[in-house]
Structure 1
Amino acid sequence: MLPIERIEAIPARVPTIRPHHLSFATVDAMDVVIVRVTAGGIEGYGEASTIGGPRWGEESPEGIAAIAGHYLAEVMLGQDAMALNAAEDRIARAVRGNYFAKAALCMAIHDVVARAKGMRLADLLGGPLSTALPLAWTLASGDTARDIEEGERMLGLRRHRDFKLKIGAKAPEVDVAHVSAIARAFAGRASIRVDVNQAWDEPTAARWLPALSDAGVTMAEQPVAGWNVPAMARLQRANPRLAIMGDEGIATPQDAQRHVTEAACHAVALKPAKHGGVAGTRAVAAIARTAGLGLYGGTMLEGTIGTLASLHLYSTLGEYAWGTELFGPLLLRDSLATTAIEVRDFAIHLPEGPGIGTGLDADKLEHFRTDRRRTLVPA
């Protein structure tokens, strides 16, 4: 028995190393919520991140903090953290939607249990199938020459050889020219993918996806709105050399099953935040694997805490045909964790140590937290 004694949800905002351009926003800082669970005197940590606040999805950092720190906390305080299946079921039933908040609390509870048992989170989840997963990088400055220079630097450092470009904010012909130039620059040395983030309608995607395929692009992520599964299916049939990947359209196992039934994609982007925690992520991954769809370990650009939690979970789920995108900490100017992620030889490596493999830097969290005013006193 490991009764949950305390649950805290603390929002923070951490600057990025450069502007991160997406079709719907330009991000120069990441809004995160750290969830801290105390059970048996042991602390466990989870993290939710929102790209551009609530611009990517329905949840805001303020809302995540309120849901996790109040509505979910009130049904979990006093419960046995060791009863992980019961905990996830209770969290899932407590509120509708709010998957980011649910996932952050779920991960924090798993972390505290793993720490109490003195084992890695991956081992608590049955053991890793791999301790190193391929790590992609997003070239998102929007400037062709700068993106090529950045990609060359990443190749030279042996950090990344799979590059994704965020497109959709500019005219399609401008985006396609930009991507094509980068694809030519890295032909035979790195893979190039694009993420449209739902910015195109079906006629636009039908016109421009073939050009991207001809340029050497291997995968296009969510080219149309997540709800438009029939369009995804038509685009996949029309572009057999290009893997269409579902992201925003695949949150629940039911979403995944619909994409399988309609043959709407060749790849699925996993994100524990979308799926509401460990059980939901496992369910979506199982459906994708059963249907022969390639897995991609996605990210909401979480910091080290959320990234390592995802890494432990992903390591137990099988092969990743499209690698992972767990580079969030590398995009941030600072960290709320006490240790850094390990990236080498084009992969992110599973850490040792109990739980997710890092602690929380309380001083950094205090500095970056956004839930209270700080009074500046002249020196």
Structure 2
Amino acid sequence: MNVTELKIEKFESFLLDVPTIRPHILSMATMHSQTIVLLRITFSDGTVGLGEASTIGGLAYGDESPEGIKVSLDSYFAPLLLNQPYKSVGGTMLRINKNIVGNRFAKNAIEIALMDAMGHRLGVPVSELLGGRIVDHIPVLWVLASGDLSKDIAEAEEMIASRRHNVFKIKIGKRSVDQDVAHVAAIKQALGDAASIRVDVNQAWTRWQANRGSAMLADAGIDLIEQPLRHDDIEGMKQLVQQGRIAIMADESVQGPKIAFDMTTAYSADVYSIKIAQSGGLSEAARVASIVSISGAAPYGGTMLEPHIGTVASAQLFSTFPSLEWGTELFAPLLLKEQYVNETLDYVDFGLTVPNSPGLGISLDEDKVSYFSRK
């Protein structure tokens, strides 16, 4: 079948609720499970593409929720795509963006599915549709988010011994600055040079707290602070960068290419978390990464705690980056008690091996999808 004759014949979305292996504590929420929007698009040639969207703590983190994403997909995106002539991923995403404002997470799920299907159709991994991979293995950190000091240290030591992770991010911001710094410093002291320690404040600090906390964390040997201030406090972030005490990462602030351009030209971060969902899709995330790299800042592979499909889609993109100095945080599949895909991702030697099969290289375990689907 000629690609110009293709149509999308089926557009299916599902809500899955999958429990986590332990409570995942952030400054704004505590997660005991992850809700996932699973998307399956079937083309008239029989090709199937899988997409996925998830948020962190429902609406506690951002302005999109899994339930809202599903409603938007079914009510607005599906009528725009079903039984319409399909020519290309880019052309379809352009039509979507002309007709639907915002909804970056939903758009990302669709573009993942479109690229997955195209990869299957052409017999190449998604990375080849994004310029071609440079590496087959990318570094991945682990988040220590139990909030319990002894548990966090034991968990990190186990990860180092098994060569699964040797870089750790610690969620802080719920307690006082002194309490948080004491907790983080104790972990760093226990692990020593065997591990790199970073912290994620998730916008919880005021400028005064950030100034004080950054100095204390630098003295404790911590390598990086992620999003210490509100996402819109670009000037405050810039001031922290200018102090030069410790690397500052922007995360929640980075909501697409335009904001990335504004922040990089203002020198408002040393490192930028590239998230495909937060950017509005793989193509937009690639644009963000290009802007960051051209500015001289460092791109970092972020996550919205997307499990297997979103993680592999992110990994396909990140494998095309010329540099990943600060690595990635594509650990979300390991946070779930069970998986709903047939493939087990290869986490080895402190990182993730990027699948090399056509498309994403992921297929669904239909029994598990049915089991975890919200009825």
8 A contact 1:294–1:321 mirrored in 2: yes
Aligned equivalent of 1:201, options 186, 206, 223: 206
Aligned equivalent of 1:277, options 267, 276, 281: 281
Establish whether residue 298 from structure 1 lines up as the match of residue 302 from structure 2. Answer: yes
Q: TM-score, normalised by structure 2?
A: 0.96
1:291-329 deviation digits (Å, cap 9, x = unpaired): 111111011111111111111111112211110000100
Distance 1:297 1:157 in 2: 23
Structure 1 unaligned runs (5+)?
373-379
* CA displacement at 1:81 relative to structure 2: 4.6
Distance 1:80 1:230 in 2: 46
Establish whether residue 176 from structure 1 lines up as the match of residue 214 from structure 2. Answer: no
Letter in 1 for 2:299: L
8 A contact 1:342–1:348 mirrored in 2: yes
8 A contact 2:306–2:333 mirrored in 1: yes
Distance 1:8 1:106 in 2: 14
Cross-structure match for 1:189: 194
Cross-structure match for 1:225: 230
Establish whether residue 49 from structure 1 lines up as the match of residue 54 from structure 2. Answer: yes
Establish whether residue 77 from structure 1 lines up as the match of residue 49 from structure 2. Answer: no
* CA displacement at 1:154 relative to structure 2: 0.3
Cross-structure match for 1:100: 105
Percentage of identical aligned residues: 42
Distance 1:227 1:126 in 2: 32
8 A contact 1:10–1:34 mirrored in 2: yes
Aligned equivalent of 2:122, options 117, 120, 128: 117
Letter in 2 for 1:272: I
* CA displacement at 1:280 relative to structure 2: 0.9
1:13-53 deviation digits (Å, cap 9, x = unpaired): 10000000000001010011001110121211011011111
CA shift in 2, pair 1:73/1:306, >3 Å: same
Distance 1:51 1:13 in 2: 13
Distance 2:40 2:65 in 1: 18
Distance 1:304 1:79 in 2: 29
Distance 1:225 1:282 in 2: 24
8 A contact 2:265–2:295 mirrored in 1: no
Establish whether residue 133 from structure 1 lines up as the match of residue 113 from structure 2. Answer: no
Establish whether residue 164 from structure 1 lines up as the match of residue 179 from structure 2. Answer: no
Distance 2:367 2:322 in 1: 37
* CA displacement at 1:10 relative to structure 2: 0.9
Distance 1:70 1:363 in 2: 26
1:200-230 deviation digits (Å, cap 9, x = unpaired): 1111111111000110111100000000000
Cross-structure match for 1:144: 149
8 A contact 2:215–2:245 mirrored in 1: no
Letter in 1 for 2:180: D
1:42-75 deviation digits (Å, cap 9, x = unpaired): 2110110111111111111111111122311211
Distance 2:296 2:313 in 1: 25
Establish whether residue 8 from structure 1 lines up as the match of residue 16 from structure 2. Answer: no
Cross-structure match for 1:377: none
Match of 2:59, SS?
helix
In terms of mean alpha carbon deviation, does 355-364 or 120-129 score higher? 120-129
1:76-113 deviation digits (Å, cap 9, x = unpaired): 22345551111121222232111111100110011011
Letter in 2 for 1:111: D
CA shift in 2, pair 1:267/1:12, >3 Å: same
Distance 2:242 2:46 in 1: 55
Match of 1:54, SS?
coil
8 A contact 1:7–1:38 mirrored in 2: yes
Establish whether residue 215 from structure 1 lines up as the match of residue 220 from structure 2. Answer: yes
Letter in 2 for 1:295: P
CA shift in 2, pair 1:211/1:86, >3 Å: same
Distance 1:192 1:139 in 2: 10
Match of 1:53, SS?
coil
8 A contact 1:88–1:279 mirrored in 2: no
Letter in 2 for 1:308: V
Cross-structure match for 2:31: 27
Letter in 2 for 1:357: G
Distance 1:171 1:274 in 2: 29
In terms of mean alpha carbon deviation, does 209-218 or 183-192 score higher? 183-192
Match of 2:194, SS?
coil
Distance 1:329 1:6 in 2: 27
Cross-structure match for 1:313: 317
Match of 2:151, SS?
helix
1:250-307 deviation digits (Å, cap 9, x = unpaired): 1111111111121110000011000111221011101000011111101111111111
Establish whether residue 17 from structure 1 lines up as the match of residue 21 from structure 2. Answer: yes
Cross-structure match for 1:327: 331
Cross-structure match for 1:261: 265
Distance 2:85 2:116 in 1: 14
* CA displacement at 1:125 relative to structure 2: 2.2
Match of 1:158, SS?
coil
Kindly report structure 1 stretches of 4+ aligned residues shifted beyond 6 Å.
none
Paired residues in the alignment total 370
8 A contact 1:303–1:336 mirrored in 2: no
Aligned equivalent of 1:247, options 222, 232, 251: 251
* CA displacement at 1:198 relative to structure 2: 0.2
